[in-house]
Amino acid sequence: MPEPRAAPHHSIDVSIEGVSKSYQTAGGTVQALAPIALKIARGSFVAVIGPSGCGKSTLLRIIAGLETPDQGVVLVRNQEPETFRAGGELGIVFQDPALLPWRSVRRNIALPLQVLGQSIRAHEQRIGDLIELVGLAGYAKALPGQLSGGMRQRVAIARSLVTEPSILLLDEPFGSLDQILRRSMNLELQRIWMARQTTALMVTHSIDEAAFLADQVMVMHSSPGRIADIVDVHFPRPRAHDLFAMPEFHAVCDRLAAALDSGDR
Q: Select from 34, 111, 151, 187 the one that contacts other proteins (CB under 8 A).
A: 111
263 contributes a contact to other proteins by CB under 8 A: no
Q: Whole-angstrom Cα distance, residue 95 to residue 173?
A: 4
Q: Whole-angstrom Cα distance, residue 236 to residue 219?
A: 22
Return the beta strands (E) in the chain as ranges: 12-25, 28-41, 45-49, 71-76, 90-93, 167-171, 199-204, 216-221, 226-232
Residue 115 in 3-state DSSP?
helix
CB of 164 to other proteins, least distance (A): 13
What sign results for the dihedral spanned by CA atoms 85, 91, 96, 97? positive
| Contact track, other proteins, 2-41, x by CB under 8 A | ----------------------------------------
Count residues contacting other proteins (CB under 8 A)?
A: 29
If the CB atoms of residues 115 and 246 are measured against other proteins, the closer one turns out to be 115
Which residue, 262, 166, 258, is CA-closest to 211? 258
CB of 151 to other proteins, least distance (A): 12
Q: Select from 102, 137, 141, 241 the one that contacts other proteins (CB under 8 A).
A: 102
100 contributes a contact to other proteins by CB under 8 A: yes
User: Quick one: DSSP state of residue 138?
Assistant: T
Residue 51 in 3-state DSSP?
coil
Residues of this chain that interact with other proteins (CB under 8 A) are 61, 64-66, 82, 85-86, 88, 90, 92, 94, 96, 98-102, 111-112, 114-116, 143-146, 152, 159, 163
